[in-house]
Amino acid sequence: MRESASPGQQAFERFWRRAAVRGAVIVLAALLLVGIYAPFLANEIAFLWVDRQGAHWPLFADLFNRTSYPRPHDLLFNLLSLLVPPLALVWWLLRRRLGIGRRLALCLGVVLIAWLLAMVPLIPTKSGWSAVWAHRPLSPFTSIEAHAGTAGSDVITAIFAPIPHRCDATYPGASLLPPGSINKATGTHFWLGTDDIGRDVLASLLFGVRISLSIGFVATGLSLLIGIAVGGASGYFGGWIDVLLQRLVEVMMCFPTFIIILSVVAMIGPDIFVIMLVIGLTSWAGTARLVRGEFLHQGVCDYVAAAEAIGVARWRIIVRHILPNTMAPIIITATFGIAGAVLSESGLSFLGLGDPTTASWGVLLEQGRENIRYPWLIYAPGIAIFVLVTCLNLIGNGLRDAFDPKST
């Protein structure tokens, strides 16, 4: 290990040295990519469609169609699917020139510009614009109906996604087919079989990545925000604030979290955002306790006294001085928190209290429980959840070992 490296770099090297952790990071990144590019992998709509009028890109045109993707998180992932390539390119091009802050700012700029560009075809046609509008070049974002208005279109060639089924489409006569059977309507394969109402399990699995990851990240983000605020205030200010907040944390620690989530979701109704919110609001106690401990530990350090002596504002000391020093344990709990949130959501859906309109892994597994003789409905989503949770746990473990070398 290089002695000149900063503690963070040293920790990263320790983290990256372990093969299992590297594998977990790669699998997680692959899962994230699968989630982002799910509509490109599993879709009924053609990727490229060439007829006499020219080439059309109906899949792109469909990406921001609210009827195909009624859920906001799907739209977000679709937007990401367009933004990831330019972002990766910019990041790679600037890898040596700029610091991380500038690179982040530039990437945000690229996001903004790409977003605006993506909005251009969505601008409603104004009368003054119509002449220009009618002669615009064929954009991948305009729908096929807009092009095929004039003549009957003879297809020259069409390229479809590798899995030509949508996740939420039900195929008539295809309920509970075993893996590898053929869809009689289109002659395509259901590689992982179908569920009881005739949806493709593989397509549902791919789109399920989006749900699991977005629930994991949003719920954990929320619980981190609350946990850091409560724990930080409690640890930094001390006194009666600490006493009060500690009682609150103790109350939350004894909470049978899953039971509370269950009853709230049962009462409000199964909506994916309600689930995110409730998981986030009930799981912050551990983070708060941890952050409080760290703040107590850091608060007596010399650098805090120095900052106070030169008159730095309190919130600035908390946010800019102490918080960065407590990041390591926070990131570690966040990793396990994501795994926990994914498990909570799947558990809820497994009990039949999940959002039935979304194809989440837990919903699939619930069908596996109800149709106990059809093992592909158990294995496919179960293994998917297992892989995601294992990766997150491995990364969390690796981070813990890397940041805290004395505990093995």
Partner 1 sequence: MLSYTIRRLLLMIPTLVGILIINFAILRLQSASLTQSMQQQVGNQEGASASHQVRSQASYSAIENHLARFVRTGNNLPALINVRGWLDKDDVVALLRQAASPTSKPSVRSQAQSTLWLLGHFGVEPLEEVIADDSLVDLHGQASVALTLDAYVPLNIEDLKYMSEQRQDDIRVRNGELRKYRFPAGRDDPDYAEKRAKLLALCERDKKEFAHTSAAAWGALLRETGICDFFYKLFSGNLYSETRGDYVFHLIGDRWYVTFWLNLFSIIIAWCGSLLIGIRSARTNGSLEERVATSSLFILWSVPSFFLGTLMLHHLCTNGADGRAWFPNRGLESDDSLWLTTPAFLWDLFYHACLPMTVLCYASFTSLSRYVRGNLLEQLQSDYVRSARAKGCNEDQVTYRHALPNSMITMITLGSGLLADLFGSSVIVETIFSIPGLGLLLFDAAKNQDGPLIMGSTVISVLLLLVGILIADLLYAVVDPRIRSKYA
Among 350, 363, 399, 401, binds partner 1 (CB under 8 A): 350
Figure out which of the listed residues 5, 98, 266, 319 binds partner 1, where binding follows CB under 8 A. 266
Q: What are phi and psi of 319, to 5 degrees?
A: -80, -45
Least distance to partner 1 from the beta carbon of 29, Å? 18
The yes or no reply on residue 385 touching partner 1 (CB under 8 A) is yes
CA gap 89, 132 in Å, rounded: 32
193: how many CB neighbours lie within 10 A of its CB? 20
Considering only residues 124, 128, 269, 311, which one is a binding residue for partner 1 as defined by CB under 8 A? 269
Query: Is 257 one of the binding residues for partner 1 (CB under 8 A)?
Result: yes
Residue 288: closest CA among 241, 320, 256, 343: 241
Instruction: Kindly tell me which of 13 and 370 has the beta carbon lying closer to partner 1.
Output: 370
DSSP 42: B
The span of 48-56, 78-86, 161-169, 380-388 binding partner 1 (CB under 8 A) equals 380-388
* 382 makes contact with partner 1 (CB under 8 A): yes
Which of 259, 279, 255 is closest to 351 using CA atoms? 259
Burial class (CB in 10 A: 0-12, 13-18, 19+), 314: exposed
Binding flag, residue 389, partner 1 (CB under 8 A): yes
Pick from 72, 178, 256, 324 the residue near partner 1 by CB under 8 A: 256
Per DSSP, the three-state class of 169 is coil
For the CB of residue 207, give the shortest distance to partner 1 in the complex, in Å. 19
Q: Which is nearer to partner 1, 161 or 219 (CB)?
A: 219
The backbone region for 154, taken as left when phi is positive above 0, alpha when psi lies in -120 to 50, beta otherwise, is beta
CB of residue 289 vs partner 1: minimum separation in angstroms?
A: 11
Burial of 149 (0-12, 13-18, 19+ CB in 10 A): exposed
HEC profile for 338-378?
Answer: HHHHHHHHHHHHHCCCCCCCCCCHHHHHHHHHHCCCCCHHH
Part in contact with partner 1 (CB under 8 A); list of ranges 10-18, 147-155, 166-174, 347-355: 347-355
Q: How many residues bind partner 1 (CB under 8 A)?
A: 46
Query: Does residue number 341 form part of the binding site for partner 1 (CB under 8 A)?
Result: no
289-328 binders of partner 1 (CB under 8 A): none
H-assigned helices in 63-187:
72-93, 100-119, 130-134, 144-147
Residue ranges in contact with partner 1 by CB under 8 A: 247-248, 250-251, 253-260, 262-269, 339, 343, 346-347, 350-353, 362, 365, 368-369, 372-373, 375, 378, 382, 385-386, 389-390, 393-394, 397, 407-408
